[in-house]
Structure 1
Amino acid sequence: MIGRGIRLGAILGIPIRVDYSWIVIAVLLTAGMAVGLGESFPYLGLLSRLLLGLSACLLLFASVLAHELSHAVIALRHDVGIRSITLFIFGGAAEMLEEPRSAQAEFSIAIAGPIMSLALAGLFGAFYAMGLGLVPPPFMDVTLRLAIWNVILVAFNIVPGFPLDGGRVLRAALWGIWGELAPATRVATAVGSFFGMLVMFLGLMYVFVFDNLIGGVWFFLIGMFLRYAARASYRQMLVRQALEGVTARDLMTSDVPCVPPEMTLEAVVDEVILPRGIVEVPVVDRGLLVGMLSFKSFRGKGRAALESLTASDVMTRDFLEETISPDEDASKVLARLGSDDHRLAVVSGGVLAGIVSREDALRRLSLILELREERQNRA
């Protein structure tokens, strides 16, 4: 649903990324803050205003990140894996690898973000109250804005429309009452889609009634995003339910060409890469997976190097993050594959059992789901 963007690092083992759209917001917010500070405090120079604006932008970034990390921490406590946290033009998202296992878990995960944002709003508000008369007014202005922004973040997220936090709380409540996830998600999604339409209508009102083009376009885009996010989240839930019982063993290719560590790169190219049309080869020593050999690691090397270097010389041993168990759920496998053109090694007891690529996984899943549908129709 969201582009991978720029990876900043990891917190608690969770990759933190910034979508390219956030850069646009950072520039606009910094520039807007500089203009606003210039109107309120004419004595400030341009550099001072830009630095204050950038500081406010970074603190807002940290606030949104804290909001999403709260979701992630509670999700991990409920044994729900988190693939990554991405900050983008409309806020942020902690991408879960699976659905929560209970309505209570869903509620706890959903409410954690607004609670964190409310706490941050109170913290910035307290700093503002304590700093009045003691701290220069421009700094107080930034502090007050941060308190207000966090309140707005809470207000926006508690709207009961899926996949916003309020929509997830609504889904948790309906799930608890009805005892089923699918109908609860369907209703919460409908509310989220309806809310998106209202925001789009508000955008049109801004343009044609209030003659505010920029504000209208902004609201219209937010509404479109909410409608898209609601539908995409619902489809994702349906796919996860359809994949129940499907594991990596069902998706993997077991007939995988392997090479021994002592095999020369020339032989690897001539006997494996060119004939099989693959660019990544497992390196196996006495049945155990010891590394992964990628064509990228030695592409461009001369003939002499290919004749003298072996697979063990250039293979990567840092492949544990790219290995999965044969019993790994299919939904988690697809989440780990993402949209990248790479493969996962299926390993059992250190022994290579197979390889899963995104293309092969989707093809096999399509066949599995088609066969399931045929069986249901026959029944």
Structure 2
Amino acid sequence: MRAWLWHRRGDRLSATRTASRFGKGFGLFLILLGIWSFLSVGALGGMWWILIGFFIMSAAKASYDQLLARSLFHHVPLEGFVVKAPVCVEADLSIDHFVKDYAYHHHFSLYPVMKNGKLVGCVRTRDVQTIHRDEWATSPLSDIMLPLTEKNSTPLESDAEQVLQAMQRHNSGQMIVLDGDRLAGIITLRDLLGALELRRQIEGEG
């Protein structure tokens, strides 16, 4: 159906949106058919119709979301999504102060770590658990600091689609954005998904 509509309309996104809606409708029909079969006849086969219906609905939505994300973020400069003044922490800050003054206050999952005005790594909030609580007051953040890698950072030259894929691949909610070896800002999955949701509302649900 998508191929036929795409050929007719010349618009892949519109064709995918219509095909996705049809797929979700067909999936709902199978779910209702399965419920009817299970309740009226008592056939366990109705459960299979329900499961297949949910699978088709999920696949239809995922297909549209994937194309929508690609059309929105492909070759789009990352700079427009970057928070350019992120909250940073010092490498010699104690874990205790970090938890009280930063983690509990800002609720971020990732923080750039600075030392003498230079970016030296990053720290994940969850990693404070690797240090015994009795040692938080005497342990600096450098003890749990991570080096900057492709899992937690990205060049400013990257496009938004590449970063979204990297976040999904590494199960990351935030990434540090680098301009060479300098801190350019931070990018969050929430901001990218927010832009995607706004596009979905404007374009219409898939």
Taking structure 1 as the reference length, the TM-score comes to 0.41
Please list every run of 5 or more consecutive structure 2 residues that lacks an aligned counterpart in the other structure. none
Q: What corresponds to 2:121 in structure 1?
A: 291
Alignment of 1:189-208 (within 5 A): 189=20, 192-193=23-24, 195-196=26-27, 199-200=30-31, 203=34, 206-207=37-38
1:230 equivalent to 2:60? Answer yes
1:347 equivalent to 2:178? Answer yes
Q: Tell me by how many angstroms 1:308 deviates.
A: 3.5
Q: What corresponds to 1:356 in structure 2?
A: 187
Alignment of 1:34-183 (within 5 A): 171=3, 175=6, 179-183=10-14
Match of 1:317 among 117, 123, 147: 147
Q: Is the 8 A contact 2:73 2:160 kept in 1?
A: yes
Q: Is the 8 A contact 2:68 2:196 kept in 1?
A: no
Alignment of 1:255-294 (within 5 A): 255-266=85-96, 268-269=98-99, 272-273=102-103, 276=106, 278=108, 280-285=110-115, 288-294=118-124
1:218 equivalent to 2:48? Answer yes
Cα distance 1:269–1:214, how it changes in 2: closer, same or farther (>3 A)?
closer
User: 1 or 2 for the larger relative contact order (CA 8 Å, sep ≥6)?
Assistant: 2
Alignment of 1:18-29 (within 5 A): none
Q: Tell me by how many angstroms 1:185 deviates.
A: 1.8
1:254 equivalent to 2:107? Answer no
What count of residue pairs does the alignment treat as equivalent?
197
Residues 18-63 of structure 1 show CA distances to partners (whole Å, capped at 9, x for unaligned) of xxxxxxxxxxxxxxxxxxxxxxxxxxxxxxxxxxxxxxxxxxxxxx
Q: What corresponds to 1:301 in structure 2?
A: 133
Q: Tell me by how many angstroms 1:214 deviates.
A: 0.7
Cα distance 1:217–1:237, how it changes in 2: closer, same or farther (>3 A)?
same
Please list every run of 5 or more consecutive structure 1 residues that lacks an aligned counterpart in the other structure. 1-160, 162-169, 374-379
Measure the CA separation in 2 of the matches of 1:367 and 1:307. 42
Measure the CA separation in 1 of the matches of 2:44 and 2:62. 27
Residues 323-353 of structure 1 show CA distances to partners (whole Å, capped at 9, x for unaligned) of 1222433344344445x67321112323221
Q: Is the 8 A contact 1:202 1:216 kept in 2?
A: yes
Amino acid at match of 2:133: K
Same amino acid, percent of matched pairs = 27
Cα distance 1:233–1:313, how it changes in 2: closer, same or farther (>3 A)?
same
Please say which structure displays the higher CA radius of gyration: 1
Q: What corresponds to 1:21 in structure 2?
A: none
Cα distance 1:177–1:261, how it changes in 2: closer, same or farther (>3 A)?
same
RMSD across aligned C-alpha pairs, in angstroms?
A: 4.0
Q: Is the 8 A contact 1:207 1:213 kept in 2?
A: yes
Q: Is the 8 A contact 1:291 1:319 kept in 2?
A: no
Measure the CA separation in 2 of the matches of 1:306 and 1:206. 60
